[in-house]
Structure 1
């Protein structure tokens, strides 16, 4: 059954990304990605990244083996102006320009983000399965009243 989730269409120019990544699938993603966020919060690995464009943290989904039911790579990182000096253990990616459907997850973490993803999976979006993003500004990390922008690459 298909539902119509609320979203806005937007376009991003290409940008550079630096972060750390893991391989997962939706079968184990809640645990895998949850533990990865805990590791990020504990280690604060973005503190060592140079040339950040802003203070936003990006949860990046890419390298899909198919649709959302198949394995993919998840990374936590940020936009940067240059990738001259990437910290050890991190990856850099050039994210191409693309059209996105923008969703807003609001409320208690992590439920609001999970619920928004369920809406996305149940929607009739014409997804490209290239790069999808959760964008966290500093106020996104309020556990009781989060505001997270989720961008899904679309045709």
Structure 2
């Protein structure tokens, strides 16, 4: 099992501008992701790497975006696996501008991301948490093969 090599224990509050993305989209739930037979996020990324990586520029960051929440982390949501749109591409999704908490980690993928999401959930479940999730848009931004940032939309 891979551990997070470097992480930010206290997330950083940031204001993000909108970002236009292109990619592949699916709809799922956290309950569905717990069972191999109903998982959609892993297969979505496999399909992305198979179909889209040949057109991916080395200077483009990869994103995993969670949006269109039915309710909260218990309901269904949409997922985009993709990258920033170039001028000649039609945008599939625009990241919502606003306030986010940024969690960062470095480590072996994909376990590093899984572990960091565990940290995110623990943070928001803590009695010491002073923020509420907005459940509008959350996303992972992959900095390189070993670095990831998770942005969680928060209520103002």
Q: 1:41-56 to 2 correspondence within 5 Å?
A: 41-44=49-52, 47=55, 54-56=59-61
Aligned Cα root-mean-square deviation (Å)? 2.2
1:143 alignment partner in structure 2: none
Of 57, 62, 69, the match for 2:67: 62
SS in 1 for 2:132: coil
Equivalent position SS for 2:135? coil
CA gap of 1:99–1:46, structure 2 versus 1, over 3 A, is farther
Q: Is 1:78–2:83 an aligned residue pair?
A: yes
Deviation at 1:45, TM superposition (A): 5.5
TM-score when normalising by structure 1:
0.76
- Report the secondary structure of 2:73's partner residue: coil
Provide structure 2 residue ranges, at least 5 long, that are not aligned to the other structure.
Answer: 1-8, 125-130
Task: Report the counterpart of residue 128 of structure 1 in structure 2.
Answer: 134
Give the one of 44, 48, 62 matched to 1:36. Answer: 44
Cα distance in 2 for residues equivalent to 1:41 and 1:135: 16
Gaps of 5+ in 1: 141-145
Equivalent residues in 2 for 1:1-155 (5 A)?
5-29=9-33, 31-44=39-52, 47=55, 54-80=59-85, 82=87, 85-86=89-90, 92-124=92-124, 125-137=131-143, 139-140=144-145, 146-155=146-155
Whether the aligned pair in 2 keeps the contact of 1:19 and 1:46 (CA below 8 Å) is: no
Partner of 2:128: none
Q: Secondary structure at the match of 2:48?
A: helix
Q: Secondary structure at the match of 1:75?
A: strand
Aligned-partner Cα distance in 1 for 2:99–2:76: 23
Give the Å deviation of 1:122: 2.2
TM-score by length of 2: 0.76
Aligned-partner Cα distance in 1 for 2:78–2:29: 8
Superposed displacement of residue 85, structure 1: 4.1
